[in-house]
Amino acid sequence: MAERISRTPVREQDPKIRAHNFDEVCYGFNAEEAAREASRCLHCKNPRCVGACPVEIKIPEFIAKIVAGDVSGAAAVIAEDSSLPAVCGRVCPQETQCEGSCILGIKGEPVAIGKLERYVADNAPESKPEIAPKNGHKVAIIGSGPSGLACASDLAKMGYDVTIFEALHKAGGVLEYGIPEFRLPKERVLRREIDEVKALGVKIETDVIVGRTVTIDSLMGNEGFEAVFVGTGAGLPRFMNIPGENLNGVFSANEFLTRNNLMMAFRDDYQTPIHAGKKCIVVGGGNVAMDSARTALRLGAETTIVYRRTEVELPARREEVGHAKEEGIEFRMLTNPVEILGDENGWVRAVRCIRMELGEPDESGRRSPIPIPGSEFEIPAETVIMALGTSPNPLIAKTTSGLTATRKGGIEADSEGRTSRPGIFAGGDAVTGAATVILAMGAGRKAAKAIDEYITNK
Amino acid sequence: MFKILSKKMLTHNVCEMDVSAPRIAKAAKPGQFLIVRVDEKGERIPLTISDYDREKGTVTIVTQEIGASSTALVAKEAGDYFADVVGPLGNPSEFVNKSDEELRGRRYIFIAGGVGTAPVYPQAKWLHEKGVAVDVIIGARNKDLFIFTDRIAAACDNLYLCTDDGSAGFKGVGTAMLEKLVAEGHEYTKAVAIGPMIMMKFATVTCKKLGIPIDVSLNTLMVDGTGMCGACRVSVAGKTRFACVDGPEFNGYDVDFDEALRRLGQYKSEEAEAKAKIGI
């Protein structure tokens, strides 16, 4: 048997240089690299990668098209199941999904499915999707993040008259305010995907906070929307509730990232202030923690991530952890803040932490961190960023009659997105709590089907 | 885009604008705020709503030139557009959701200072129209800095003006005026203070002394205004609350004003840089 070819490395910006700029880290595959990597796929009879993809993209099929040199064909295969391939190719946790199930991964390196998806999305010529004739039915989508965009584009293709209401001044939701430019370029990638949704006839009304500016009841009662999809995400930051958390210089990751991403604080020509300080501590181990740390680093702060478990348990994508390390972020594992200490002016001067050890596995199956008594120590810092996860915003549940909320403030919905109130559907983080872009997108697409069924059978 | 329909300078650096924002005008209630972004590169500026006209579809905002962003806002003219106006944000004042029954017999005293005077107007008007007793104290450094006095005079039972220099009305601060009124036998069941944070702190101290419950409208730093960023967090009765979604009005007795004052200065050095850049 011939020696298998190894996984094709992807070209990236030099860590020393990219630590000082916000340009995209990863350059992606060129045609030659993509063809080489695509040739590694074994085209399994029962492709495990497809089953491991939350939206079941026909992975071997699109890879076969790349091998055949048919990028448009590959894009068409992906488009059957995904509406945001350029985004998902960049931000999906492939190592726990498609690539994590790849047979090649057992003895060697899995096929770089994410990078191939991205290659296709970035290089396929713009396609003209088929749009059914207008059916005259109006549907409102609340939130322009991944679930809302996916739901809107599917409905628009079916002929619905779709309006997305977005609370912020730019569409994209977490893709806009949360994920930094160096991981997801806004103009080149995100705007393009949003423009494609608009090209289907979807209207996007920014600056409308449903629950304040209008309500779902008024949209359905007075504005003629027959169904509503709630894709409002999980936007509320969590704090640790430890002493000193309201000192100057302590920020939620949401604030820090929103200032930098949505409000473009990293650019001199924008007025947004941002304060990273000389030494920054980021608390948390997820993608948002990595994004915050790498943003602070790029703004000039020497940055440390503290996480209460070990590196194995870090919930962030492997690639982001690797990138963060290459760029010079310090990782202090088994470390948990107990207090933030301030100077005489009320600014952060240090974080008092305690060392942790791993005990028995908890309900999540992960070994739970236990503080080691008497092990407290201080890490000096000028700023602290709390990246501890987010929860759904309760505003919609509170202001809509007949809508049942979950205990955690999310909206109760079944697997098809149907809520307690007929005509109102929900999906993505607003239902599940903070999860991934691809799950949200999948939920938006399922809800689009359920909305179509609902309106057709009304 | 949101069109500025009219603009009027109320003092040398405070301006009033009517902005076309029909959805906000329709939904606004006294006590709520909105966020303006002047242009594509501007900050999101939170401003308390100073009036609204549901029929015309307009909201009124009053802004003082302080930093680079508010200066850019004030530089706009009637006929120009703001990139974004979003709202209404936050909760309406506590009395908005009270029944006429509950409001009967209440006597309100408003203590207004600076640009905080303008948002007192829709609140006083709401109560006055319902026949609730409303007195208003407006404080300013001198007589040239008063705003909204005619409108407020028409929307309350008694208006008391005070100036630091005695150039008009009572010579002294608003809280001294309140103490004087109470000493003269005026009784109030509720006070509301809107103005600079430091003024609201002292209004609360005075009200505590006089045994009058007080609500204060907190003008904290904010980014999104919808509960996402937590920049506006404030300690209220020992708990962290978000001014944008839990407020903006809180029971003054419970607010940690010193923390709130300190947090307002969080971007002082960045603000100074921005001002230097545009030469103000």
Residue A88's SS3 state is: helix
CB atoms within 10 A of CB A95: 15
Please report residues of B whose CB lies closer than 8 A to that of A346.
Answer: 259, 262
CATH topology (fold) of A15-123:
Fumarate Reductase Iron-sulfur Protein; Chain B, domain 2 (1.10.1060)
Which tens digits make up the pLDDT trace of A136-156?
A: 999 999 999 999 999 999 999
Given a cut of 60, whether residue A35 has pLDDT beyond it is yes
Size of interface A-B (CB pairs under 8 A): 107
Q: Min CA distance, B43 vs chain A (Å)?
A: 5
When mean pLDDT is compared across A357-371, A436-450, B10-24, the lowest value belongs to A357-371
Last residue of a domain, one of B170, B197, B217: B217
State which H helix or E strand residue B70 sits in.
helix B68-74
Token duo for residue A123: 């290089």
What is the DSSP code (8-state) at residue A372? Answer: -
Q: Is the ipTM, as predicted for this complex, more than 0.90?
A: yes
| Residues B154 and B178 both lie in one domain | yes
Using DSSP bridges, classify how beta strands A302-306 and A279-283 pair: parallel, antiparallel or unpaired. parallel
Taking residues B200-224, report their average pLDDT.
Answer: 95
The answer to whether B274 faces chain A, any CB pair under 8 Å, is yes
The minimal CB distance from B24 to the residues A213, A273, A275 is found for A213
Strands A377-380 and B51-53, sheet pairing: unpaired
- Inspect the interface and report whether the beta carbons of A393 and B274 lie closer than 8 Å: no
Identify the DSSP state of A411.
B
Q: Are B229 and A246 an interchain contact pair (Cβ–Cβ within 8 Å)?
A: no
Residue where one domain finishes, among candidates B44, B71, B89: B89
Does position A2 have pLDDT exceeding 90, yes or no? no
Model confidence at A389: pLDDT above 60: yes
Neighboring chain A residues of B72 at a CB cutoff of 8 Å: 271
B78 with B177, same domain: the answer is no
Question: Measured between alpha carbons, how far is residue A115 from residues A7, A27, A88, A119, A373 in Å?
Answer: 11, 10, 10, 6, 45
Final residue before a domain boundary, out of B217, B234, B263: B217
CATH number of A237-389: 3.50.50.60
The string of DSSP codes covering A141-162 is: EE--SHHHHHHHHHHHHTT-EE
Element (H, E) at A210: none
Q: Say if residue B98 is in the same domain as residue B184.
A: yes
Q: Is A12 on the interface with B (CB under 8 A)?
A: no
Mean predicted lDDT score pLDDT of chain A: 94
* Domain identity same for B248 and B193: no
Q: Identify the band that residue A94 occupies on the pLDDT scale cut at 50, 70 and 90.
A: very high
For residues A146 and A142, what is the distance between their CA atoms, to the nearest angstrom? 11
Matching residue, tokens 């640790």? A240
* Residue A429 binned pLDDT confidence (cut-offs 50, 70, 90): very high
Which domain range does residue B234 map to?
221-280
| Record: fold of A138-235+392-456 | FAD/NAD(P)-binding domain (3.50.50)
Rounded mean pLDDT, A115-143 = 93
**Together in a domain, B202 and B143:** yes
Cβ of residue A398 closer than 8 Å to a chain B Cβ: no
* CB interface of B with A, residues 12-71, below 8 Å: 23-24, 27, 37, 41-44, 68-69
| Closest to A183 (Cα-Cα) out of A111, A72, A253, A90 | A90
- d(C-alpha B43, C-alpha B31), whole Å: 22
B82 and B99 within one domain: no
State percent of chain B over pLDDT 70. 99
How many CB atoms neighbour CB B172 within 10 A? 15
What residue in A sits closest to B23 (Cα-Cα)? Answer: A213
Averaged pLDDT for residues B182-199: 95
Tracing tokens 């509730």 back to the chain, one arrives at: A241
* Rounded Cα distance, A78 and A59, in Å: 8
| Same domain flag for B273 and B206 | no
Tokens standing for B85? 């106006």
Provide the edge-to-edge strand list for the sheet that holds A138-142: A203-205, A161-165, A138-142, A227-230, A424-426
pLDDT digits (tens, 9 = 90+) for A192-217: 999 999 999 999 999 999 999 999 99
Residue B236 has pLDDT above 80, yes or no: yes
Residue A207 C-alpha, separation from nearest chain B C-alpha, in angstroms: 5
A300 touches chain B (CB under 8 A): no
For A295-316, write each residue's pLDDT tens digit: 999 999 999 999 999 999 999 9
Chain B from 71 to 130: CB within 8 A of any A CB: 72, 83-89
- A276/chain B closest Cα distance in angstroms: 11
Sorted by where each begins, the domain ranges of chain A are 15-123, 138-235+392-456, 237-389
User: A214-251: per-residue pLDDT in tens?
Assistant: 999 999 999 999 999 999 999 999 999 999 999 999 99
The total domain count for chain B is: 3
Cα dihedral across residues B249, B251, B257, B262: positive or negative: negative
pLDDT at B66 over 90: no
DSSP letter string, A282-328: EE--SHHHHHHHHHHHHTT-EEEEE-SS-GGG--S-HHHHHHHHHHT
- Provide the CATH number for the domain around residue B211: 3.40.50.80
Residue A283 has pLDDT above 60, yes or no: yes
pLDDT in tens, B14-62: 999 999 999 999 999 999 999 999 999 999 999 999 999 999 999 999 9
Same domain flag for B23 and B101: no
Interface test with B, best of A207, A262, A299, A393 (most B CBs within 10 A): A207
Q: Which residues does residue B86 pair with via DSSP β-bridges, in sequence order? A: B35
Q: Confirm whether A138-235+392-456 and A237-389 share one CATH topology.
A: yes
Q: Mutating which of B37, B81, B229, B264 best tests the A interface, going by the most A Cβ atoms within 10 A? A: B229
* Cα–Cα distance, A303 to A310 (Å, whole number): 18
**pLDDT computed for residue A3 by the predictor:** 58
CB contact under 8 Å between B274 and A169, yes or no, is no
Is residue B112 domain-shared with residue B183, that is, in the same domain? yes
**CA atoms A88, A90, A91, A96: torsion sign:** positive
Would the pTM count as exceeding 0.90?
A: yes
Separation of alpha carbons A408 and A96, rounded Å: 26
High-pLDDT (> 70) share of chain A, %: 99
Structural Rg of chain B based on CA atoms? 18
Which A residues in the span 244-263 are in contact with B, Cβ-Cβ below 8 Å?
245-246, 248-249, 251-252, 254-255, 258-259, 263
- Are both B83 and B29 inside the same structural domain? yes
Residue of A nearest to B228 (CA): A236
Contacts of A398 in chain B (CB under 8 A): none
The average confidence (pLDDT) of chain B is 94
| Cross-chain residue pair A255–B245, CB shorter than 8 Å | no
- Shared domain for B201 and B100, answered yes or no, is yes
Write out the two tokens for A255.
């604030």
Give residue for tokens 């006597």. B107
Cβ–Cβ under 8 Å, residues B36 and B70: no
According to the model, what pLDDT value does residue A1 have? 43
Is B85 close to A207, i.e. CB distance below 8 A?
yes
Residues of B within 8 A of A235 (CB-CB) are: 226-228
Q: Which residues pair with B59 in a beta bridge?
A: B19, B52
Spatial CA neighbour of B173 closest among B148, B198, B147, B209: B198
Residues 184-243 of B with CB under 8 A from A: 223-224, 226-231, 233-235, 240
- Under 8 Å between Cβ of B27 and A207: no
* pLDDT band at residue B129 under the 50/70/90 scheme: very high
B229 to A255: CB separation less than 8 angstroms, yes or no:
yes
Question: Given this model, what pLDDT does residue B280 score?
Answer: 66
Residue of chain B whose Cα is closest to the Cα of A240: B240
